[in-house]
Amino acid sequence: MSSGWRNILLRNIGQSSVFLIRNKKNKNKITRQHLLIFISVFIAGCSLKPSVKIDERQYKNETVWKQSNPRINKFVQVYSNNNHVKNCLNRASSKRYLNYIHRVFYKYKLPPELAHLPILESCFDTKADSGHARGMWQFTRSTAEDYGLSVGFFSDDRLNWRKATHSAARYLKKLGERFNRNWELALAGYNGGPNYMERQMKSQGTRNFWKLKLRKETHEYVPKFLAMLKVARNKYPEMYFQGAPRAWASSS
């Protein structure tokens, strides 16, 4: 190779090496810049508090569910001395009804205690029939249809406990709103009808359930349910809390 060609080749190689070194330095510089930006964003993200909490629901352990008075204690004694509550919870436990009911009621932001209302209504019997009401939640035909259940000669959604559970959740939520989350009045409304309760409150001039004079079934409905809850919670906690939200179970 002539000296002229050798000089040209060496000069080109030298320029290529300089280019590669500079290019490498630039890449390193860009990589360091990207890394610094990433670290800054990460630190900033960690230091910022989220503006919306992720469903950290608080269970205030409302006194309504654990209150005690002579009318409630009367039924606590009754249900402590028979197997009604135990038998109902056994049925719910074996079929895992409460697991499903708690999920639905959680969605509707209802008190978990209400998931046990079928203990009083039907003893968790999905085919229960009282003559004027049917199913686990004991819907009358008119209320069932108001809350999206189909009732006909060949089929009756009141006997479909999953569908009926969603309807019961919507109905209880509506009652809770109508009676300003006074669950004694809402439960009495579930049994006697909300219009009946409104008339009684207006005519008697009180919104205190314990002072209202009501027909016998509705008069006993709330103390019976609260007594059943107390017996279930104290005597059969494992079945009582099946499928329940952990935060509620640990606060109860």
Tell me the backbone φ, ψ of residue 140, rounded to 5 degrees: -75, 165
Average pLDDT, the chain: 85
**16, containing H or E segment:** helix 3-47
pLDDT exceeds 90 at position 242: yes
Q: Rounded mean pLDDT of 101-107? A: 98
Contact 188, 221 (CB under 8 A): yes
Least-confidence region, from 9-13, 149-153, 194-198, 226-230: 9-13
Residue 98 is which amino acid?
A: L
Number of Cβ within a 10 Å radius of residue 168: 31
The confidence score (pLDDT) of residue 8 equals: 44
pLDDT at 5: 46
Strands 139-140 and 133-134: antiparallel
Q: Which of 192, 191, 167, 51 shows the shortest CA–CA distance to 110?
A: 167
CA proximity to 139, closest of 116, 122, 115: 122
Write the pLDDT tens digit of every residue in 27-54. Answer: 454 566 655 555 554 554 444 433 333 3
DSSP class of residue 131 equals S
Residue 115 CB-half CA count within 13 A? 32
pLDDT on residue 36: 57
pTM of the predicted model as reported, rounded to 2 decimal places: 0.77
Q: How many CA atoms lie within 13 A of 244 on its CB side?
A: 24
Name which of 18-27, 72-81, 123-132, 229-238 the model is least confident about: 18-27
Q: What is the pLDDT of residue 250?
A: 80
Contact 248, 59 (CB under 8 A): yes
Distant-in-sequence, close-in-space partners of 126: CB < 8 Å, separation ≥ 6: 135, 136, 159, 161
Cβ-contact 97, 124 below 8 angstroms: yes
CA dihedral for 6, 10, 11, 16, sign (positive or negative): positive
Nearest to 124 by CA among 155, 97, 144: 97
The predicted structure's pLDDT at residue 247: 86
